[in-house]
């Protein structure tokens, strides 16, 4: 696939190199020639020096021919404008936007653009890690609004049905792995010792889940 990365800072350079290693045809656009030094020495893509908001520079970078574009400059405004142009004017099939100021995420969302907000996602992950954690995060959707958690069923849950265990609608049991084989649980499934659970939850659901886990472990310790 043909990919265009707008911005060659740390994120842009890392993204461009990852895409290049996967065999994609990659072009990187940045207004600062020295920024291309962030690329790995074995990068085999093309670099274009020019302003991200310059139509001439965008055309030299091949915006009218690419399959995907990532706007990852250090400016939220620039990223929003370039992404909108790519989608509306050049019909780029897939456009992804980097966001710094979470208060401006709505600007991108109005245009229906996928947004990666490092500040929002990072803050939420740090908040989660500050709580007492007994789970492993295996997948994060969007900017961390919904995540998948994996953990072993506490002994206090053995024999109880799946319907009894999830704390609220913000926390759903997605899969149970038993003796190495995964299954999609229903309400009638009763947990057994050694079961591994995969749970989808929002931050609120995660907090409620950990309260239940703490309660379960306290019950075990009191026996």
**16 & 64 share domain:** yes
Q: Give the pLDDT confidence of 80-102 residue by residue, as tens digits.
A: 899 999 999 999 999 999 888 77
Question: Could you tell me the pTM of the whole model?
Answer: 0.64
For 50-74, give the DSSP string. Answer: S-TT-HHHHHHTTTTT-SEEEE--S
**27 & 94 share domain:** yes
Least confident range from 18-32, 80-94, 109-123, 183-197: namely 109-123
| CATH code at position 98 | 3.40.50.720
Domain boundary among 118, 145, 163: 118
| CATH code at position 188 | 3.30.70.1450
Number of structural domains in the chain: 2
Backbone angles phi, psi at 130, to 5 degrees: -75, -25
Tell me the percentage of the chain whose pLDDT exceeds 70: 87
pLDDT value of position 93: 94
Q: Which domain holds residue 47?
A: 2-118
Asked if the structure places residue 99 within a domain, the reply is yes
Asked if the structure places residue 183 within a domain, the reply is yes
CA-CA-CA-CA torsion sign (43, 49, 55, 56): negative
Cα separation, 99 vs 110, in Å, equals: 14
pLDDT value of position 109: 66
pLDDT of 132 over the 70 cut:
no
Cα separation, 47 vs 28, in Å, equals: 5
**164 & 191 share domain:** yes
Domain boundary among 54, 83, 118: 118
Pick from 189, 198, 186: which is nearest to 152 by CA? 198
Q: Give the pLDDT confidence of 202-215 residue by residue, as tens digits.
A: 888 888 888 888 88
Q: Give the pLDDT confidence of 134-186 residue by residue, as tens digits.
A: 677 878 787 678 888 888 888 888 998 887 888 778 888 999 999 889 999 88
The residue to which tokens 């139509």 are assigned: 55
pLDDT value of position 55: 94
**93 & 151 share domain:** no
Higher pLDDT, 220 or 216: 216
């Amino acid at each position: 696939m043909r990919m265009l990365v707008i911005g060659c800072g740390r994120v842009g350079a890392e993204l461009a190199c990852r895409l290049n290693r996967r065999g994609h045809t990659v072009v990187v656009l940045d207004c600062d020639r020295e920024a291309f030094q962030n690329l790995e020495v074995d990068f085999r893509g093309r670099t274009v020096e020019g302003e991200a908001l310059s139509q001439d520079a965008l055309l030299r970078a091949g915006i009218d021919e690419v399959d995907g574009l990532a706007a990852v400059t250090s400016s939220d405004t620039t990223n929003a404008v370039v992404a909108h142009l790519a989608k509306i004017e050049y019909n780029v099939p897939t456009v992804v936007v980097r966001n710094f100021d979470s208060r401006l995420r709505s600007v991108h969302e109005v245009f229906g653009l996928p947004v990666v907000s490092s500040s929002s996602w990072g803050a939420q992950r740090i908040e989660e890690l500050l709580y007492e954690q007994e789970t492993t995060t295996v997948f994060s959707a969007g900017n961390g609004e919904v995540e998948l958690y994996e953990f072993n069923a506490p002994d206090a849950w053995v024999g109880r049905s799946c319907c009894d265990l999830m704390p609220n609608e913000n926390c759903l049991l997605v899969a149970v792995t038993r003796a190495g084989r995964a299954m999609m649980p229903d309400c009638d499934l009763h947990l057994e010792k050694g079961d591994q659970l995969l749970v989808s939850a929002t931050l609120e659901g995660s907090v409620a889940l950990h309260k239940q886990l703490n309660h379960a472990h306290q019950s075990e310790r009191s026996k």
